């Protein structure tokens, strides 16, 4: 049996979970409402303040879906209670970030600034302190959307292995390379 899938998800107070007829699980909490469509083979039920995910057989496909949907539902419950947060750091001379509302303006060393409209479900803030690299903070309740937007921002200028210049996650460890060897 799936080690992840068989663990019940505890539903905190203030969170309501409903399972629709069309196998869509809706989770409402203080930070918003999220929905997740579930495969028709997997059954989800709410019992005594816990969310239980079960599968019909021990086929490899059912076992894989069992753990997957349990993890996705756990992410929904955590998202509407605590929320998720990702921080990106802009490493490089002249790299800047500013935002007005959900419009992010990045200066990443190209001939033009990059202006990105962040989805309304996420909240974006930028911080620039003297002597430190600019930091872009993304917050939201949807873990999947947050990760996708953060990965898109990172892909605008990935960190290079020699000086580490580019957009990286705060705390990310980069694999560095030595430069050219000195002359004979």
Question: DSSP letters along 65-108, please?
Answer: HHHHHHHHHHHHHHHHHT-EEEEEEEESTT-EEEEETTEEEEE-
Domains 9-81 and 84-169 are alike in CATH topology: yes
The ranges assigned to domains in the chain are: 9-81, 84-169
pLDDT recorded at residue 181: 77
Over the stretch 90-135, which tens digit does the pLDDT of each residue have?
999 999 999 999 999 999 999 999 999 999 999 999 999 999 999 9
Percent of the chain predicted with pLDDT > 70? 97
Hey, which CATH number is domain 84-169, 1.25.40.10, 3.40.50.720, 3.20.20.70, 3.90.930.12? Answer: 3.90.930.12
pTM, full prediction: 0.88
The residue length of the chain stands at 184
Fold type of domain 9-81: Outer Surface Protein A; domain 3 (3.90.930)
């Amino acid at each position: 049996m799936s080690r992840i899938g068989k663990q019940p998800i505890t539903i905190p107070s203030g969170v309501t979970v409903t399972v629709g007829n069309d196998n869509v699980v809706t989770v409402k909490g203080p930070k918003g409402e999220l929905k997740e469509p579930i495969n028709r083979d997997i059954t989800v039920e709410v019992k005594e303040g816990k969310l239980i995910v079960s599968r019909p057989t021990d086929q490899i496909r059912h076992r894989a879906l069992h753990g997957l949907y349990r993890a996705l539902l756990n992410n929904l419950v955590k998202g509407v209670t605590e929320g998720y947060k990702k921080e990106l750091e802009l490493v490089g001379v002249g790299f800047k970030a500013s935002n007005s509302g959900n419009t992010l303006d990045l200066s990443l060393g190209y001939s033009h600034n990059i202006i990105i409209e962040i989805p309304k479900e996420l909240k974006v803030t930028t911080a620039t302190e003297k002597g430190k690299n600019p930091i872009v903070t993304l917050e939201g309740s949807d873990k999947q959307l947050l990760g996708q937007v953060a990965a898109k921002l990172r892909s605008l200028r990935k960190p290079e292995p020699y000086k580490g210049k580019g957009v990286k996650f705060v705390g990310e460890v980069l694999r560095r390379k030595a430069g050219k060897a000195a002359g004979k």
